[in-house]
């Protein structure tokens, strides 16, 4: 979960719009981790996720003047990140396999041994559902967004977001149950 002060975001956005690059740098520092992780979970490729994150921030910078402050800034930036990730997935050739390698969160050796297999099974399962369903799972379980924030981020009705989330969980449940992971 990213704890933010919306006023601070708004002030940084305004300073960035007026050419204060240091202010934009602060926004990047604040949001680089969730943006990178959203891309990483959607793409499961560290290098591609880094490129998507960079493109996301450059898009944000380029369109800062278009940002509507009646929306949460993080919803806006996450929407761009999700769309860039989906675009990157769309550009993949059909036979292109994902690397299956992610940078580790540096757990201790015991946890590494204990959780690596389960993590791999969960990530495999996540990659086997459609990108649209995966996106809601990432927003809910990785970014910890509420239904309302997910709806705002994806520009979808809350009802649709919930429907997608429940469908995604049902599919993941079936896959993980087959693998004996739940």
Residues that bind another protein (CB under 8 A): 15-25, 28-29, 32-37, 40-41, 46, 50-55, 57-58, 61-66, 102-105, 115, 118-119, 122-123, 126, 137, 140-142, 146-147, 162, 165-166, 169, 172-173, 176-177, 181-182
Tokens of 40: 């990483």
By 3-state DSSP, what share of the chain in percent is helix, strand and coil, each rounded to 5?
Answer: 75, 0, 25
Between 5 and 118, CB nearer to another protein: 118
Give the position of tokens 């891309």. 39
Between 17 and 79, CB nearer to another protein: 17
Between 34 and 73, CB nearer to another protein: 34
CB of 147 to another protein, least distance (A): 6
Between 113 and 118, CB nearer to another protein: 118
CB of 94 to another protein, least distance (A): 21
CB of 99 to another protein, least distance (A): 15
CB of 143 to another protein, least distance (A): 9
Between 135 and 165, CB nearer to another protein: 165
Full DSSP string of 77-125:
HHHHHHHHHHHHHHHS-TTPPP----------HHHHHHHHHHHHHHHHH
Instruction: State the sign of the Cα–Cα–Cα–Cα dihedral 83, 86, 91, 92.
Output: positive
CB of 84 to another protein, least distance (A): 9
Name residues whose C-beta falls within 8 Å of residue 62's C-beta, 6 or more positions apart in sequence: none
Determine the Cα–Cα distance for residues 35 and 28; give it in Å rounded to an integer. 9
CB of 17 to another protein, least distance (A): 6
Q: Following CA atoms 2, 78, 35, 140 in sequence, which dihedral angle do they give, to the nearest 10 degrees?
A: 60
Between 79 and 123, CB nearer to another protein: 123
């Amino acid at each position: 979960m990213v704890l933010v002060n919306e006023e601070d975001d708004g002030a940084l956005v305004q300073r960035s719009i007026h050419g204060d690059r240091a202010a934009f740098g602060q926004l990047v520092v604040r949001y680089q981790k969730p943006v990178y992780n959203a891309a990483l979970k959607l793409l499961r490729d560290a290098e591609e996720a880094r490129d998507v994150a960079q493109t996301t921030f450059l898009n944000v910078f380029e369109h800062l003047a278009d940002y509507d402050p009646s929306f949460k800034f993080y919803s806006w930036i996450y929407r761009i990140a999700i769309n860039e990730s989906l675009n990157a997935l769309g550009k993949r050739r059909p036979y292109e396999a994902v690397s299956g390698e992610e940078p580790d969160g540096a757990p201790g050796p015991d946890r590494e041994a204990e959780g690596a297999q389960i993590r791999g099974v969960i990530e495999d399962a996540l990659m086997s559902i459609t990108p649209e369903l995966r996106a809601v799972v990432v927003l809910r379980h990785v970014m910890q967004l509420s239904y309302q924030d997910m709806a705002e981020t994806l520009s979808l009705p809350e009802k649709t977001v919930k429907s997608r989330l429940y469908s995604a969980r049902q599919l993941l449940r079936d896959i993980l149950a087959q693998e004996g992971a739940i």
